[in-house]
Amino acid sequence: MKFFFKYGIIFIMVFVLAGCGRVAPKAWSYTDTAMGTVIHQGIYCEEEEIARNFSQKAMEELEHLEQEILSWRLETAEVYEINASAGSEEGYLLSKEMGALLWDCMALSEASEGAFDIGIGALVRLWDIDRWAAQAQTGVYQVPSEEEVRMALQLCSGQIRLEADRVYLPEGMGLDLGAVGKGIALTKFQSLLEKEEAISGAVISVGGSILTYGKKADGTNWIVGITDPFGTSDYIGTLSLDGQWCVSTSGNYERYVEVDGVRYHHILDPATGYPADSGVSSVTVLSENGMLSDGLSTACFILGPQKGMTLAEKYGVEVLYILDDGSIILSEGMKPYWTQREQ
């Protein structure tokens, strides 16, 4: 049995080649952990105090997001409360922010023909891959039985009913916003940065989602490395990005448990109840909107390249697929940013 959780600057799926780590003049870098992953911040400004204050504000924002809004584990979070209301007649009165988010998630669910499914909590809990991959569990990982998968799928298959600012979940259903949480964090950081006149540029990664903002001191583009899913080198190519982008990668090498040579990863296909098996090793999505880059990377992973490219086009985002056979497929709009690494 093998566990895997990619963690740290060279191990995260998408990593930043410039900005973080190597500290150029007037570029300040910080590394923390939150949301069960590593956060790297590269901040461009004159004074270190400004950068440090910002990085602390960003971490407080993440803490707030997790503890008050997104967590299904913490009683203080809105998602926890929504899940606790499942089966009730009166449903749950949503905050304005959560209401808007759930409407967006439902639209993505519909557009992806159910591949992206925030009602998947029971199945995610059953597989529990994230915690096993992070070695937060001890003992021997038991692959769920077909019967257990079938039962959990039943709890996911009901309708989430959204009516204006109220949500009604069927008994037993649990929301899981793990597929969009990191992207939502990027959008929060973007708003925080817009209020900081002294900060001219920044690059922040939350696990496999990266925000580029403003400009580097020397005016050159942000260079984001895309991790080699096959592990033969640390990165397989780079995206050269100007200005403000959210880049999210979903991969089958990111968090997984391996049992008897079979890899069980953390992106689940609601059509089968099993880890998605669409011939895809990783998908990177480029968007100006963090919720979309993150949500669509998960959806496109499950759908595979054919349907995924159509979905990406519908949302006006760019996409880069790395397939299990090593081939790379890019949307037209992604091509100008991409440079494949020479072997």
**Residues of the shown chain interacting with ligand ADP in the complex, contacts defined by CB under 6 A:** 116-118, 120, 124, 130, 176, 178-179, 182, 207-208, 250, 254-255, 266-268, 270, 294, 297-298, 302
- Indicate whether 297 belongs to the interface with Mg ion (CB under 5 A): yes
How near is the Cβ of 92 to ligand ADP at its closest, in Å? 19
Binding window for Mg ion (CB under 5 A); candidates: 99-107, 127-135, 270-278, 295-303: 295-303
Among positions 16, 35, 45, 179, the unique one binding Mg ion when judged by CB under 5 A: 179
Report what 14 binds from ligand ADP, Mg ion, none; CB cut-off 5-8 Å by kind.
none
> Which is nearer to ligand ADP, 28 or 116 (by Cβ)?
116
| Among positions 222, 298, 304, 334, the unique one binding Mg ion when judged by CB under 5 A | 298
Q: For residues 318 and 229, give the distance between their C-alpha atoms in angstroms, rounded to a whole number.
A: 19
CB of 299 to Mg ion, least distance (A): 8
> How near is the Cβ of 67 to ligand ADP at its closest, in Å?
17
The span of 11-19, 53-61, 212-220, 288-296 binding Mg ion (CB under 5 A) equals 288-296
254 binds, among Mg ion, ligand ADP, none (CB under 5 to 8 A by kind): ligand ADP
Is 205 a binding residue for Mg ion by CB under 5 A? The answer is: no
Contact residues for Mg ion, defined by CB under 5 A: 179, 294, 297-298
